[in-house]
Structure 1
């Protein structure tokens, strides 16, 4: 009779262990399905653009904004600060671009700020970098 009680107790323990393992497995699978967000490129500090008035020097722009993502020199000089934010709703799925920013700071021949443009996703094509 004692052997019967022990085996029944062991069966209860094994069943509880199986339930716990199944719950752990389901929890792990659900955690793997949560979405992710990705930030690539330049991260604009809060209030940075307000610190760059028209007529500011190129050195002042570099102090406030840091090194640009790229520079164009065809007709005057332009600093480009490029960023892209994407997300993946479910693990193992393709990322989708949700925001893309190109901040362009145009300089005149005296290397002072002529104008500032803030281009978004609606202003251009999606690109990978």
Structure 2
């Protein structure tokens, strides 16, 4: 291959190789919030109140905190390579426990290595589709079509 066709094939091959290499690159995602260590050092067990903690660090990661008098702050680091599923490589969970007077009783930090399960709120959005197949949804939508909307006419 010579001339313009050969050059086009080489350029196309190079661009394709770069795209495939970039598609297999490592991608990191970070979720959540963890208060910095220097700010955590300002908390005093027995004297700092729940309101002070929330005003200093913001609202907790979990609303469950209001039920069991513990506030959780959590952060996760996920790593993904190309088309493979993301893998969680780091997780930090900070649990600040309060006594009956809403004063800090205990501060604990958990990581993936601890292997301890901390149940935070799970927020799942219901799709509103109750056992209807894709074909059923498709056929059910035919009665709701308006020819004027399809053609872009104003009502």
TM-score normalised over the length of structure 2: 0.66
Structure 2 segments unaligned to the other structure (5+ residues):
123-155
Superposition pairs of residues 46-65 of structure 1, within 5 angstroms: 47-54=38-45, 55-65=47-57
Q: CA offsets, 1:12-47, max 9 Å, x none?
A: 222112111110110011000001112222243463
Q: CA offsets, 1:90-124, max 9 Å, x none?
A: 21102111111110001111111111101111222
Q: Answer 1 or 2: which has greater strand percent.
A: 1
Q: How many residues align?
A: 117
Superposition pairs of residues 4-19 of structure 1, within 5 angstroms: 11-19=2-10
Residue of structure 2 in register with 1:101 after alignment:
92
Superposition pairs of residues 118-129 of structure 1, within 5 angstroms: 118-123=109-114, 124-125=116-117
Residues 53, 126 of structure 1: alpha-carbon distance in 2 compared, 3 angstrom cutoff: closer
Deviation at 1:125, TM superposition (A): 4.5
Residue of structure 2 in register with 1:84 after alignment:
76
Residues 72, 59 of structure 1: alpha-carbon distance in 2 compared, 3 angstrom cutoff: closer
TM-score normalised over the length of structure 1: 0.78
Higher relative contact order (CA 8 A, sep 6+): 1
Cα contact 2:76–2:90 (8 A) shared by 1:
yes
Query: 2-side partners of 1:85 and 1:33: how far apart?
Result: 18
